[in-house]
Structure 1
Amino acid sequence: MSTDLDEQLAAMLKEHAGGDIDPAPIVEHARRRGRRLGLRRRGLIAGGAAAACAVLAAVVMTIPAGRAPDRATMPGTALALPDAPGQPGAIARPEAVGADPGVVHFTTDSLVGGAESATWSAGRGAESVEFQGPTGQARFVLARSVATLDALQQTLSSAGRPQPPTDVRVDGRPGVAWFDPSGDAKLWFVRWQPVDGLWAQLDIYATTRDEATAAASRVRFDGAHRCVVPFRLQLLPPGGRLLECSVKLGRSERGSFAEGSLVLGDEAGRWLTVRAQHVPGYDARAADLVAGPYRARRQGSDVLEMFVKPCVVEAFLKGWGNGYTESDGLTVLSGYQPARDLDHPNTW
């Protein structure tokens, strides 16, 4: 392969004198990611003041042996979020990817088949979706740099023994693929450039490389969707703006919305995360702090919690945030405005 992809990969792989390409660095990098199994990067999100995150979801994949569904599959449309009228796809405007936390610049309609849940995120240089269901699990990420992809934690389980990469083509574009053993199936990583200036990666359980690359080719880059959560943040700290958005939809007796997050921050590098989780029947605890019309309580020294029926709402000042004070967190929570209908994202 003789494109920017080749140059980027060669730069990553050249480690020793003599100029020969050694696959050890990329394998070691993947191995380090593999050790973080079970950790899920929660794409925490942000849109405009009316914030938001979305796209269609549900996946057709090979399932590792021994994994059984908890519930019947649901139609892909049950995980759908609103279209973004007038917004271009990634091919038309690659520089927009990850820059607007309110828009996802790709679609996975043909990849989606029957997932139980899908988590979408956009902002801070990347956009992603992770599917999970009876047929397996996969994650797709689109970013403007290889470094952004490399910085992401691995979220799918594997043996932590990644094999050397080989050249592939995805929908006619050059890329690389490597795998990590995972039971009877393999966890495949397919990385390619759908257009100059963008990097894509699909992590998926599959039995063969061809199966994995065929799945990757079903991602489309000529459409866009809104990233939406069922709440707005009406009050931000001085200089604050929305940076990232994340929303999880799934099949449940309590509705399709599971949780959503917005990340806000400023030019000084401070950031704060507000997360809402759908928890009907939650027994609200005594709260001694005032956040506008709400009552809030401390969870340790760096998390504020309040209950706005039917959601538990949290403000993370550290860990998932950094630099804002408790007073800032209470100000943000005081401007929390929930949507009336949790089950219809087109109304958020």
Structure 2
Amino acid sequence: MFSDLDEQLATTLKHQAGGDIDPTPIVQQARHRGRRLRLRRRGLIVGGLAATCVALTSVVLAIPGVRSTDDPIMPAAALMLPEAQSDGTVRPEEVGADAATVHFSTDALVNDATFASWRTGRGIESVEFRGPSGHARFVLARTEVLLDGLQQTLSSQGRPQGRTEVRVGDRSGVAWFDPSGDRKLWFVRWQPANELWAQLDIYATTRDEAVGTASRVRFDGAHRCVVPFRLESLPPDGRLLECSVTLGRSARDSFVEGSLVVGDASGRWLTVRAQLAPISDDARRGDLVAGPYRARRQGRDVLEMVVKPCYVEAFRKGRGNGYTEAEGLAILGGYRPARDLERPESW
């Protein structure tokens, strides 16, 4: 759902936050991404029908720019996560606490969507949809402070208008908007349960349209946040903090990207990200040993390797002192890919 270059630059800068910026990884990753996109697009355009995908600014992500006539559109259900066991009740203390579970359903937002990015962990659960006719993000959080701290990912003029009281189903809430061309970017915030906060950001013509869409989000089920790999070699006291995955409705790109964030009680964290790699992309084989794999350095704080059919990165720079290179290689050594990238229910 994101522009490759924009998202990679944002990710690199984020991991460098709080210290001196080293331009080397930014330049290297820009060169790598440019080469990969050229190779991929060259293969897709031949005999195909080009369809440019719009860019989405948020967590991460590589979205192909074209689609051939041999690449059919999958049902909207392809964007949904597999169901998880649930008693039909969402509990505030569970939201964002389990990095493997999302406690809401947003079927109402997916009809015209092309890509969906799901995220859960560290007190927040969210999904962002993007398609030719619209763009929306829904977030569920344990505190209103977490909502206030979110980075805005939908474009607007940056001039939010005054809030008005609304009803989202049988719950009270507030709505405000920010001008954005012919339509407005509406923000609808409410409490679906006590000690639980929700917000929908969506382009809509009227407030009633935005509020009506918000009222269709359901909280009576749960879904599993899944990525097509496991990490079997976590460091002592390490645990899974966050999961994120982007799915597409194209048969060619049903899996776009997946990430797991690992951290410990001291505040350190490390991100492992996998995305599809071009068939000829073997140049990243390096001289570092990561379990059964070969890895290489990319700049100062990023390790990379190819585990067919994915390109895998470990971003070591996080909060606190971060993880050492040896720890990063050990974590990558425990990378275990799923057998079938086309079936999220099997991940």
Could you tell me the TM-score, scaled by structure 1's length?
0.78
Inter-CA distance 120–88: structure 2 relative to 1 (3 Å threshold): farther
Could you say which residue in structure 2 is the equivalent of 1:288? 287
Q: CA deviation at 1:158?
A: 0.4
1:147 corresponding residue in structure 2: 145
- Taking the aligned partners of 2:319 and 2:236, their CA distance within structure 1 comes to 20
Report the CA distance between 1:81 and its aligned residue.
2.2
Q: Tell me, yes or no, if the aligned pair for 1:130 and 1:137 is still in contact at 8 Å.
A: yes
Equivalent residue number for residue 41 of structure 1 = 59
Aligned to 2:121: 123
Distance 1:261 1:318 in 2: 15
- Secondary structure of 1:163's counterpart equals coil
Asked if the contact 2:176/2:186 (under 8 Å) is kept, the reply is: yes
| CA positional deviation for 1:278 | 1.3
- Between the aligned partners of 1:169 and 1:41, the Cα distance in structure 2 is 31
Partner of 2:75: 75
1:151 deviation in Å?
A: 1.2
Q: Which has the higher contact order (CA 8 A, sep 6+)?
A: 1
Task: Using the TM superposition, give the Cα deviation of residue 75 of structure 1 relative to its aligned residue in structure 2, in angstroms.
Answer: 1.9
Shift of 1:80: 2.6
Call closer, same or farther: CA 1:278–1:79 in 2, change over 3 Å: same
Q: Quick one: structure 1 residues 145 and 240, their matched pair in 2 at CA, closer, same or farther if it must change by over 3 Å?
A: same
Cα distance in structure 2, aligned partners of 1:99 and 1:256: 27
Q: Deviations over 1:53-91 (max 9, x none)?
A: xxxxxxxxxxxxxxxx98986421122321102x244x4
Distance 1:178 1:99 in 2: 29
2:112 is aligned, of 108, 111, 114, to 114
Aligned 8 A contact 2:189 2:200 in 1? yes
Instruction: Tell me the SS of whatever aligns to 2:330.
Output: helix
Q: CA 1:99 to 1:327, structure 2 compared with 1: closer, same or farther past 3 Å?
A: same
Aligned to 1:23: none
Higher deviation after alignment, 312-321 or 212-221: 312-321
What's the counterpart of residue 132 of structure 1? Answer: 130
CA-CA distance at 1:253 after TM superposition: 5.0
- Report matched runs for 1:1-348 at 5 Å: 39-42=57-60, 74-85=74-85, 87-89=86-88, 91-252=89-250, 254-285=252-283, 286-318=285-317, 323-348=322-347
2:73–2:251 CA contact under 8 A, matched in 1: no
SS at the partner of 2:328?
Answer: helix
CA contact (8 A) 1:136 1:205 kept: yes
For the Cα contact (< 8 Å) 1:190–1:201, is it kept in 2? yes
- For the aligned residue pairs, the C-alpha RMSD in angstroms reads 2.1
Deviation (angstroms), 1:132? 0.4
Write the distance in 1 (CA, Å) between the matches of 2:345 and 2:164: 42
Q: 2: CA distance between counterparts of 1:258 and 1:321?
A: 30
Match of 1:54?
none
The answer to whether the 8 Å contact 1:73/1:133 transfers is no
Go from structure 1 to structure 2 and tell me whether the alpha carbon gap of 1:270 and 1:206 turns closer, same or farther (over 3 Å shift): same
Partners of 1:110 and 1:73 in 2: how far apart?
18
Alpha carbons 1:291, 1:331 under 8 Å: kept: yes
Does the 8 Å contact 1:119/1:131 carry over to 2?
A: yes
Contact 2:109/2:136, CA 8 A, preserved across alignment? no
Give the secondary structure class of the aligned counterpart of 1:297.
strand
Once the 2 structures are TM-superposed, how far is the Cα of residue 313 of structure 1 from its aligned partner? Answer: 0.3
Name the structure with the higher helix share.
2
TM-fit CA distance, 1:226: 0.7
Unaligned runs of at least 5 residues, structure 2: 1-54
Q: Give the Cα–Cα distance (whole angstroms) in 2 for the partners of residues 76 and 185 of structure 1.
A: 24
AA in 2 matched with 1:176: V
Aligned to 1:194, the other structure's residue is in SS state strand
Q: Aligned pairs, how many?
A: 285
Letter of the aligned partner of 1:157 in structure 2?
S
Tell me: CA distance 1:215–1:323, structure 2 relative to 1, closer, same or farther (3 Å): same
Residue 92 of structure 1 deviates from its aligned partner by 3.9
Of 125-134 and 281-290, more deviation after overlay is shown by: 281-290
| Amino acid in structure 1 at the alignment position of 2:326 | S
**What is the deviation of 1:38?**
6.5
**What's the secondary structure of 2:313's corresponding residue?**
strand
TM-score where L is the length of structure 2: 0.78
- CA offset at residue 311 of structure 1? 0.5
Please report how far the alpha carbon of residue 99 of structure 1 lies from its aligned counterpart in structure 2 after TM superposition. Answer: 0.7
Give the letter aligned to residue 166 of structure 1.
T
Partner letter of residue 215 of structure 1? T
Tell me the distance in 1 between the aligned counterparts of 2:328 and 2:176: 43
Name the stretch that deviates more: 76-85 or 193-202.
76-85
The ranges of structure 1 where at least 4 consecutive aligned residues each deviate by more than 3 angstroms after the TM superposition are 69-74, 319-322
